[in-house]
Amino acid sequence: MDVNIVKKHTEGTPLAVIVPKNATAKSLADYPLTKDEISYVAKRLKTDGKTLDLSVMDCKKYVVVCDSEKPEKLRNAANSVCTKLAAAKKEKITVFCEDKKSALTFLEGLLLSAYKFDKYKTEKPSTINVVNLWVKGLKQSDITPLRNLCDSVCEARNWVNEPIMVLNADAFANILQKEAVELGIDVKVLKQKQIESLKMGGLLGVNRGSVDEARFITMEWKPKNAVNKKPIALVGKGIMYDTGGLNIKTSDYMYDMKSDMAGAATMAATLFAVAKNQLPVHVVVLIPATDNRPCGNAYANGDILRMYDGTMVEVVNTDAEGRLILADAIAYANRFKPQVIVDAATLTGAAERAIGKYGIVAMHQDAAETMEQIKRAGDEVYERIAEFPFWEEYGELIKSDVADIKNSGAGPHAGMITAGKFVAHFAKAPFVHLDIAGVAFADKSYGIYGKGATGFGVRLLYRWLEGMAKK
């Protein structure tokens, strides 16, 4: 998408006019609205009492009422405008706003709403591809960081939307390696024999049923002016496709399982946004990548795996595979002596059932301050966190009779917490667990996220790291 700064409106281009919720007819006198439109808007503001409303004046002009205290509604208004323009096959828009912050929030909504995964469509759907910003005092340097972040969100969406026949572990590793090098990020891709030499039993165990080799990817952004003495370690679950293994999923539950690597996509995209915008934060990303198949010599219930840190794990469910590969990656992350380890994973159906598509289920181990920071960042970008208890009693549910621990808790209760307890076992630093199962992939459009991969979590983690950089 082209984003331009302009000083006037081009006739024939749809126009979105953003007005404050406390606007009056007098204060709107210099806005690009007719007298009748100003009268209409002032009356609506006075009588409706709504904090945000989208009113279609005609097929070429939209009035967006902005409540600066509720930016998510402004983003969703941008989505509504984007949807209407696509239906009318309009691909350009001019945005008039007197407040830079509101203009950028609206632009964010447009950039994320305009995304289409149309790579495999013969006829491409219409969407906005040119935005002209008519905003006093706005500079290109104000726009670039937001563009970089939104581009990274959309990149994460692309990875998650790609089918496994195109994006297996090796292909994903190659893409990440190429971009990391271009951005000045130190990157290492460990192949099968190297993973075997490290004795990563979780990653290797899950990979046994696949004809494709596993990959273990580490990426490190370490600027000279980093504000943190110890790195932040971000770990992302990279199950490129999940059949459930020998505990095979039914077809309905397998439809969107190309999205089971959304945690890996989230962490990689966050790091790329950090590097593009040159944030002075030392960050390490670790991604274990494989698919989970019931083929060949697939691992089975009753198997006992020796993890990278030596922990012996009893397999009681081959569909609880994500936590096995995360365990090796989290244990490996300890080598960096991180300030905190944060993982993101489409880990449990229990998380989705608990709070649906409206937020991330999270818990922490010795990381209360980091959890509060992430929750605040989530509120700011409206990618909210629901913190769950992490009482020690939940750890009792993953104890094994024949090994140190087992890869699934007892029964259907608190599944997202027992899964969190499992991965937390391997962290020797403060640890935050983010279960993004409910938000990573949408079966229908909602707000700025659209149908399919959402990129949920990238803006959240970037905002957290950005806040750290500004301290």
User: For residues 237 and 318, what is the distance between their CA atoms, to the nearest angstrom?
Assistant: 15
How is residue 428 written in tokens? Answer: 């020797």
Rounded CA-CA distance 323/347 in Å is 7
Q: What are phi and psi of 379, to 5 degrees?
A: -65, -40
Rounded to whole angstroms, the Cα distance separating 396 from 60 reads: 62
Of 149, 465, 456, give the one whose Cα is nearest residue 277.
149
Contact between residue 340 and residue 432 where contact means Cβ atoms under 8 Å apart: yes
Q: Which residues contact 224 (CB under 8 A, 6 or more apart)?
A: none
H-helix or E-strand spanning residue 232: strand 232-236
Measured CA to CA, the distance from residue 187 to residue 325 in angstroms comes to 19
Q: Check if 249 is active-site.
A: yes
Distance CA 118, CA 124 (A): 6
Residue 52, Cβ neighbours under 10 Å: how many?
A: 15
β-sheet bridge partners, residue 4: 132
181 CB-near residues (< 8 Å, 6+ apart): 187
Tokens 């691992």 correspond to what residue?
A: 299
Q: Which of 21, 84, 92, 249 is catalytic?
A: 249
Alpha-carbon distance of 448 to 292, in angstroms, equals 31
Instruction: Determine the Cα–Cα distance for residues 317 and 466; give it in Å rounded to an integer.
Output: 39
Question: Whole-angstrom Cα distance, residue 186 to residue 196?
Answer: 22
Which of these is catalytic: 73, 258, 323, 421? 323
**Length of the chain in residues, anyone?**
471
345 CB neighbour count, 10 Å cutoff: 31
- DSSP 8-state class, residue 367: -
Q: Between β-strands 340-345 and 431-435, what pairing exists: parallel, antiparallel or unpaired?
A: parallel
191 noted as active-site residue: no
What does the alpha-carbon distance between residue 278 and residue 223 come to, in Å, rounded to a whole number?
Answer: 8
Those residues whose C-beta lies under 8 Å from the C-beta of residue 273, and which sit 6 or more positions away, are: 148, 149, 151, 152, 153, 458, 462
- Active-site residues, by number, are 249, 323
